[in-house]
Amino acid sequence: MSDQFPEFFVRLDTFSSAVWYRTRRGRYRLEGTRCANCDTKFFPPRTGLICPVCYAREMVPYECAHTGTLVAVAQDNLGFPAWGYGDDLPRVMVIVRLDDGVHVMGDVVEFEEPEAVEPGARVKMVLRKHRREDTGAWVYGYRFVLADL
Ligand SMILES: [Zn+2]
């Protein structure tokens, strides 16, 4: 930490800026793919692969729904902060069934009480800081917050 970078740097593993750049549409907008033949939706995107339902080869970009329902909740309450996830601990990892049927793994942030984060709760996607590149630039991506929808 310094005057220039007041927030903590997280460097737990090798960072590939190229991978994070290529996956930015998925992280920013939940963009997956959709089979052009049978309309099955996929997230993360199945690019360059065949559809497992109808074996067609054409996939087109598809922006998943930004709201959904919690299916599974797991609290990572280790008793010490998980680096890079802010002060709103414990970290709560969830599986969300989006309103278009796609299942996504993510984190629920900015909740008041951990008990309110339970299966069946409604959530919406928000854009939050994920971590830092080695250059110091922030990488953003999706998180979920509880929402009355
Ligand atoms: Zn298909």
**Hey, where are the domains in the chain?**
16-64, 65-149
Structure tokens at 110: 């900015």
CA–CA distance, 35 with 40 (Å, rounded to integer):
5
CA of 102 to the centre of ligand 1 (A): 15
Residue 43: what pLDDT?
Answer: 93
CA of 123 to the centre of ligand 1 (A): 28
Q: Return mean pLDDT, the chain.
A: 84
Question: Among 147, 127, 128, which Cα is nearest to 69's?
Answer: 147
Q: How far is CA 116 from CA 39, 69, 75, 82, in A?
A: 34, 13, 12, 21
Confidence of residue 102 (pLDDT cuts 50, 70, 90): very high
Verdict on whether the full-model pTM lies above 0.85: no
**65-149: what CATH class?**
mainly beta
Residue 78: pLDDT above 70? no
CA of 49 to the centre of ligand 1 (A): 11
CB-based contacts of 120, cutoff 8 Å, min separation 6: 69, 70
CA of 61 to the centre of ligand 1 (A): 13
**Mean per-residue pLDDT, 31-44:** 94
Residue 114: what pLDDT?
Answer: 79
